[in-house]
A and B are shown apart, each in its own frame.
Chain A
Amino acid sequence: MTETFQDRHGLHGIMARFADPEQLLEAANRAYGAGYRKMDAYTPMPIEGLAEAIGFTRHWVSLVVLMGGLAGCVGGFGLLWWIAVIAYPHNVGGRPFDSWPMFVPITFECTVLLAALSSVVGMLAMNKLPMPYHPVFNVQSFAERASVDRFFLCIESDDPKFDRAQTRAFLEQLDPEEVSEVEK
C-alpha cells in the first residue's frame, strides 16, 4: 500500500498520444463516460466539442467579462455625470447639465475597455498563467509535438478514480500511439 501512496504523489497523471483529432475526441468522450473528471486535452489547434467532451462546460471568464463591462458602464457614465453635474457644471447652449445622450459614447467606450481588459486578465488568472513549470513537458514526445501534429489526453492523478495500472490499461485500449506516465 505504501508504494501506491508514493506513486500517486510522484505522478502528475498518465498521458496518451493520438495521431488525429477524431481519436482524441473519441478518447475524451470515453474517459468522461468511464467516470474520469480530472483530465486535460492538449492539441495544436482548436477542436470543436473537445472542451465539452472533457467536462469543461462552465466558462467563468464570460462572467468576469460581464462584471468588467458593467463596471466600465456604470463607472464611465458615473464619471461623466459627476463631472458635468456636480464637479464642473457648465452651461453649453442652454442644454441641461445631465445631457445623458452625450454621455453614451464615452460610457460605451469605457464598457468595452474594461470588458476587454478583464477578459485578458481573467483568462490569464484562471489559467494560472504565466506558469513557468508544468509537469506535462516532462514527457519527451509532448514537448516535441504537442504544438505541431499530435493530440494528447492526460488523466490526472488527483482524479478520485485514478489508479496507476487501471488508468494506464484504460488509455491503452483507446488505440493511442503511446501511453506515458507524467512525473510531477
Chain B
Amino acid sequence: MTPSETLRPQMDRAQRRALFVGVFALGLSLMGLSRNADHFWQSYLFAFIFWAGLALGCLGIFFLHNVVGGNWGVAIRRFVESGVKTLPLIALFAVPVLFSLNTLYSWTHADVRAASFAVGHKAVYMNARFFIARTIFYFLLWFFFGYRILKMVNEHDRTGDPALFKRIKGASAPALLIFVVSTTYAFIDWIMSLEPDWYSTIYPWMFTVGEVLLTFAFMIALLVLLSKREPFAGFLKPAHYQDLGNLMLAFTMLWAYMSFAQLLIIWAENLPDEIPWYIRRFSGGWGYVAWTISIFHFCVPFFLLLMRFIKRNPNLLRTVAVWMIIVRILDVFWIVEPAFRQRGLEVYWTDVVALIGLGGIWIAYFIRNLKSQSLLVASDPRNTYTRAHGH
C-alpha cells in the first residue's frame, strides 16, 4: 500500500517544490564559485556535513531501533528508512569535496606539512589518496549494511516471519557498532582534520550524537506535520510523542555531556596544541555563537523537554523540534567554519544558499523514497500502543 490518495498529490507537489528550490539555490551558489572559490567550498563543506549528518543519523536510528525495539520507532520507521535510502545522494554530494581537497584541507599543502612536525608526521594517514579511499570505503560500508538490513526488513514486513525478525536484530547489532566506528573515522577525516594539528577523542562522538539528535528533531517535526492525515491520524497516541520527546531530551543531554566534557578537559589542561580550537571559537564574534548554542541548544530545550505536557502536545513538541533543527545548523556552522574564518565571525551568502541548495535536493529525494511505500507499518510486532486496547 502506498500513501493514501489524498496525501499523494501534496507529496508530489512538495517534492517538486523542494527540487526546484534546491536546484535554483545550488545554481545560485555556483555563481559564488566563480567569484570566490574559497568561500564557496567552505559553504559547500558546511552544507554537505549538515545533510550527511541527517542521513547518517537516519542510518544510526534505523540500526538502533532494530536492535532495541520499542514503540517510539514504529511511527517514524518509514521516515528513517527513506533517510537511509538517501545515502547514495550523500555519496554524490561528497564527490565535489573530494575534488577540492587542496582548497579545504591544509594538510594537503607541502609547506604546512613541512612547518608542523605533527602534521608532517600524520602524512602517512592524512594524504589525499588515502583520504579519498577511506571516504569511498565508509560509503561502501554504509551501503552494504544499510541496504542488506533494509532488504531483510522489507521481507519481514511482507511475511511477518518471527525467525527473520530475530535475524534482523542479530544483523543490526554489529551494524550499529560498525556505524559508530565508521562515523568516528569519517568525522575525523571530514571535519576534525580541517585543523590538522588538533585532536580530541570525544569529538567524533559528540558530532554523531548531535546528528542523531538532529534526526530525531527532523522526524518529530515531520510526524507532527503528517499527524492530522491518515494513516497517522488514527494511529498516533500522546505516548508516541512522549517517547520521541524523551529520546530528544536524552540526546540533548548526551550532546551537552560530550560537548562539555571536551570543553572541560581542554580548558583545564590549557595545552598549546589543544586550546587554540576553543580560542578560535570564542573570539572575534564566534563567542556569541558559542554562548547562543550553549543556552539554546541545551538549557532552553532541556527545561522544556523535562515537562510532560510539552512532550504530549504535538504542536508544542514540534516547536521544540524545529527549534532544535535551527540550533543544530548553528552548531555545525560553529564547529566547521571557524577553522577557516579565524579573523572572527563571518557569514557569507553562499553559506545560506549552499545549505538550502543541497537541502532542497535532499528533501526532494527523501520524499521520493517516502512515496515508494506505505507510510506506516501498523503490523510491526513492536507496536503495542495501538493493538493492546484500540478504540
The interface residues of chain A lying within 8 Å CB-to-CB of B239 are 48
CB distance from A106 to the nearest CB of B (A): 12
Q: Which A residues lie within 8 Å of B270 (CB)?
A: 93, 95
Q: How far is the CA of A22 from the CA of B391 in the complex (A)?
A: 10
Pick the contact of B264: A48, A95, A102 (CB < 8 A).
A102
Name the CB-closest residue of B to A25. B389
Within 8 A of B (CB), among A78-127: 93, 95, 99, 101-102, 104-105
Indicate if B267 sits at the interface (CB-CB under 8 A).
yes
Report yes or no: B268 in contact with A22, Cβ–Cβ below 8 A: no
A contacts with B: majority SS: helix
- Neighbouring A residues of B267 by C-beta, 8 Å: 101
A53 CB to nearest B CB, Å? 14
Residues of B within 8 A of A48 (CB): 237, 239
Q: Does A68 contact B (CB under 8 A)?
A: no
Is A76 among interface residues, defined by CB-CB distance under 8 A?
no
Tell me the complex Cα distance, A59–B307, Å.
Answer: 11
For residue B263, CB closer than 8 A to chain A, the reply is: yes
Mask: chain A, 61-75; 1 = CB below 8 Å from B; 0 = not: 010000000000000
Q: With CB as the reference atom, state the residue of chain B lying closest to A20.
A: B389
A-B contact count (CB 8 A): 19
Q: Which of A17-69 contact B (CB under 8 A)?
A: 21-22, 48, 59, 62
- Does chain A have a CB within 8 A of B260? yes
Residues of A near B389 (CB, < 8 A) are: 21-22
Q: Contact string, A126-140, partner B, CB cutoff 8 A, digits 1/0?
A: 000000000000000
A21 proximity list for chain B (CB < 8 A): 389
Q: Is the CB of B260 within 8 A of A104?
A: yes
Q: Which chain B positions have C-beta within 8 A of A62?
A: 308
**Closest chain B residue to A62 by CB distance?**
B308
Residues of A within 8 A of B260 (CB): 104
Task: Give the contacting residue for A104; candidates B237, B264, B308; CB below 8 A.
Answer: B264
Q: How far is the CA of A120 from the CA of B96 in the complex (A)?
A: 57
Residues of B within 8 A of A99 (CB): 268
- In the complex, what residue of chain A is closest to B269 when comparing beta carbons? A93
Chain B contacts of A93 at CB under 8 A?
A: 270
Shortest C-beta distance, A66 to chain B (Å), equals: 9
A99 to B263, CA, bound (A): 13
Q: Mark B258-301, 1 if CB is under 8 A from A, else 0.
A: 00100110011010000000000000000000000000000000
CB distance from A162 to the nearest CB of B (A): 30
Given the complex of chains A and B, what is the CA–CA distance between A93 and B264 in angstroms? 15
Chain A residues closer than 8 Å to B263, beta-carbon distance: 101
CA distance A136 to B300 in the complex (A): 45
Docked complex Cα distance between A59 and B309 (Å): 12
A102 to B308, CA, bound (A): 31
* B249–chain A nearest beta-carbon distance, Å: 14
Give Cα A62–Cα B309 distance, bound, in whole angstroms: 12
Question: Considering the chains assembled together, what is the distance between the CA atoms of A101 and B239 in angstroms?
Answer: 37
Cα separation A104 to B267 with both chains bound (whole Å): 13
* A89 to B: closest C-beta gap in Å: 18
Bound-state CA distance A101–B278 (Å) is 14
The answer for the CA separation of A59 and B306 in the assembled complex, in Å, is: 14
Distance between Cα atoms of A105 and B268 in the complex (Å): 13
A46 → chain B closest CB, angstroms: 11
Contacts of B308 in A (CB 8 A): 59, 62
Q: Give Cα distance in the complex from A21 to B267, angstroms.
A: 56
For residue B268, which residue of chain A has the nearest CB? A102
Q: Pick 17 A–B contacts, CB within 8 A, sort by A.
A: A21-B389, A22-B389, A48-B237, A48-B239, A62-B308, A93-B270, A95-B270, A99-B268, A101-B263, A101-B264, A101-B267, A101-B268, A102-B264, A102-B268, A104-B260, A104-B264, A105-B264
- Top 10 closest pairs, chain A to chain B, by CB: A101-B264, A101-B267, A22-B389, A102-B268, A48-B239, A104-B260, A21-B389, A101-B263, A104-B264, A102-B264
Given A21-B389, A101-B267, A105-B264, 12 additional A-B pairs, CB 8 A: A22-B389, A48-B237, A62-B308, A93-B270, A95-B270, A101-B263, A101-B264, A101-B268, A102-B264, A102-B268, A104-B260, A104-B264
